[in-house]
Amino acid sequence: MKHSINLYRADLVPKRPLLDLQRVLTVVLVLWVIGVGWRVVLEIQTMRLESQLQAAQTEQRQKQQLLSQLSAQVAQLQIDPQLERRVRQLQAEVQNKRSVLFEFTELGSVQSFDYAAIMTELARVHEEGLWVTRIEENRGVLNLHGHAVDPALIPRWMQKFQETEQLSHLMMRLHLRPEIQKFSCL
């Protein structure tokens, strides 16, 4: 059972207007505050950008001055005739030495060995009872001299040369002197 009755009809309920003075003033005030805040932010950014622009312009002016000073210094520089003559002499000397070296290299008269690599490989192919006493270079030929306890060790030792990089390229001739158990490899 219903204890109350609604005597108001929907058309009798008072309607608030969509735009009344209070709402309009509130919206205008909020928009004004947003506008003022935005303007303050833009002013701050503008001042910051202007200070950066001034700093960049100052730096550019300084660099322009430095560039003009350096350009003036470069324009004043002159080549010393004695130094220029000496440079030409040295260049001619270097050219002559290069041509001589080229001629010797072409003729095969100049040859050098990588002694460090050869010594390392000789240590790797070491044979007990055999030792090298002297290494010499004569007209582009590498000579190994040494002693052996047993002459039969020498061919086995020389066979190990084929397993190496530097010694495998050397041409070998063996000269045995059995009376004193010495050998020479050319």
Model pLDDT for residues 58-79, shown as the tens digit of each residue: 999 999 999 999 999 888 888 8
pLDDT at 3: 76
**Rounded CA gap, 115 and 138, in Å?**
14
Question: Whole-angstrom Cα distance, residue 157 to residue 115?
Answer: 19
Return left, alpha or beta for 70; rule: phi > 0 is left, psi -120 to 50 is alpha, else beta.
alpha
The encoded tokens of residue 52 equal 């950066």
Q: Which helix (H) or strand (E) holds 93?
A: helix 81-107
**pLDDT for 67:** 95
What pLDDT is recorded for position 2? 67
- H helix runs in 108-170, sequence order: 115-124, 153-159
C-alpha–C-alpha distance, residues 160 and 124, integer Å:
9
**pLDDT recorded at residue 176:** 60
Neighbour count for residue 181 (Cβ, 10 Å): 15
| pLDDT tens digits, one per residue of 11-69 | 777 777 778 888 899 999 999 999 999 999 999 999 999 999 999 999 999 999 999 99
Kindly provide the b/e burial profile for residues 69-94, where b requires at least 16 CB atoms within 10 angstroms of the residue's own CB. Answer: eeeeeeeeeeeeeeeeeeeeeeeeee
Between these two residues, 6 and 181, which has the higher pLDDT value?
6
Tens of pLDDT along 78-126? 888 898 999 999 999 999 999 888 877 766 544 567 778 888 888 888 8
Using one digit for the tens of pLDDT, what is the confidence trace for 136-146?
A: 877 767 778 88
DSSP 162: G
CA distance 132 to 138: 17
